[in-house]
Amino acid sequence: MMQSNLKKWLLTLLIVLAVGLTACQSDEGSEEASNGENSGEETTENESSESEDTNESEEQSYPITITDRTDTEVTIEEEPESIVSVIPSATEVVYSVGAGDKVDGVSEWADYPEEVTDVETVGDMNLNIEKIVSLEPDLVVADVENADDIDAMREAGLKVLVIGSQSLEEVYHDIELVGQATGQMNQAQDVIDDMKTTVSDVQDTVSDIPEEERKKAWIEVGPELFSGGEGSFIHEVLTLAGGKNIIADQEGWPQVSEEVVIEQNPDVIITTYGDTTEGAHETIMNRDGWDSISAVQNEEIYDVKNSLLSRPGPRLAQGVERLAEILYPEEME
């Protein structure tokens, strides 16, 4: 029970700290088409129409049965016209695949993309089930962290698709699930491909950095010294960015002591709450005993938007890129 409460507290902390960016998923890939100028062939109106028909035929047909993160088979009879998303990471996934225009309800902490601020809210970590029911959604997209609320929504007769990831591969799978459920498989695949390209480019850039020159990093997701260890997506994105996690020997989302950080002596300290907590940088600089840490001595202390590192969604690849820019700015130029 204590571990469950701690996990829920940490999730709430991550969501409260998260602040949305202003970029949105682009549909450029689906809009680009050859005009025949390079090939010498002229694209006729009929050929264009046939191409559109082909793209439409590749979209999801209904009914479809999807096994979600709770190992529940969710049968969706027809393409959802009304969607409620009850956690920010799931909301970002829904919008990224192109189903944002169908979203009629989101959690209070949802802040990305920008248009979610105009959508009706249905609670925070404590969902208002009655309000969700009143919206009559065809589909509710939830996360495993919604816990008991998932059963409550299902008992209320709602169609609930549960996602929730702790790795990039799982994020890719969740995007695919939401794409299938919403009839947006093509765009979902575009999102996944873009993420993989971003991550691959970073890996290629940092691949030649010798092991002994790779920087040790402490990522602080709250002033109470919580962070992500082995098995968390924060650990994964840091590793992909070429960094060494100083708590790689710990599992999940532990709270560590100041002594651990001092002993591990990170080269870089990264916070995810500096934009919402005044004086975060100064607090770290003035902690007792931290003046012996290389990152403090060299003032290698940075803040990254919480939502880039602490939400298992489509912007996690940008988190990998941002970490690499902090750790190895010259290589990433």
Strands (E), 189-300: 216-220, 244-245, 268-271
Structural domain containing residue 229? 208-327
Omega into 113 within 30° of 0, i.e. cis? yes
Q: Which amino acid is at 257?
A: S
Is residue 31 a part of any domain in this protein?
no
**What's the pLDDT score for residue 1?**
40
**What's the pLDDT score for residue 83?**
98
What is the tens place of the pLDDT at every residue in 113-124?
999 999 999 998
Give the Cα separation of 244 and 234 in Å (integer).
11
The sign one gets for the Cα dihedral 320, 325, 327, 333 is positive
Supply 55's token pair. Answer: 């793209």
Tell me: do 138 and 246 sit in the same domain: no
Tell me: do 73 and 162 sit in the same domain: yes
Long-range pairs of 282-286 with CB within 8 A, sequence gap ≥ 24: 283/223, 284/220
Give the CA distances from residue 167 to residues 7, 97, 121, 314, in Å, rounded to whole numbers and listed in that order: 17, 19, 28, 12
Give the CA distances from residue 101 to residues 52, 82, 98, in Å, rounded to whole numbers and listed in that order: 21, 9, 8
**What's the pLDDT score for residue 151?**
96
Q: Which amino acid is at 241?
A: A
Residue 184 and residue 304 in contact, taking contact as beta carbons nearer than 8 Å:
no
Give the Cα separation of 261 and 247 in Å (integer).
9
Q: Which domain-ending residue is among 151, 186, 207?
A: 207
Tell me: do 166 and 101 sit in the same domain: yes
Going by C-beta distance under 8 Å and a sequence separation of 6 or more, which residues neighbour residue 236? 167, 168
**What's the pLDDT score for residue 177?**
97
The conformation of residue 145, written as its DSSP 8-state character, comes to G
**What's the pLDDT score for residue 277?**
85
Tell me: do 102 and 200 sit in the same domain: yes
Beta bridge partners of 244: 216
Q: Which domain-ending residue is among 158, 176, 207?
A: 207
Tell me: do 78 and 129 sit in the same domain: yes
Supply 322's token pair. Answer: 């941002």
**What's the pLDDT score for residue 312?**
92
> What radius of gyration do the chain's Cα atoms show?
22
What CATH number is attached to the domain comprising 166? Answer: 3.40.50.1980
Tell me: do 170 and 242 sit in the same domain: no
Tell me: do 198 and 237 sit in the same domain: no
Is residue 9 a part of any domain in this protein?
no
Question: Which residues of the chain fall short of a pLDDT of 50?
Answer: 1-57
Supply 245's token pair. Answer: 């996690």
Q: Which domain-ending residue is among 207, 233, 264?
A: 207
Tell me: do 224 and 196 sit in the same domain: no
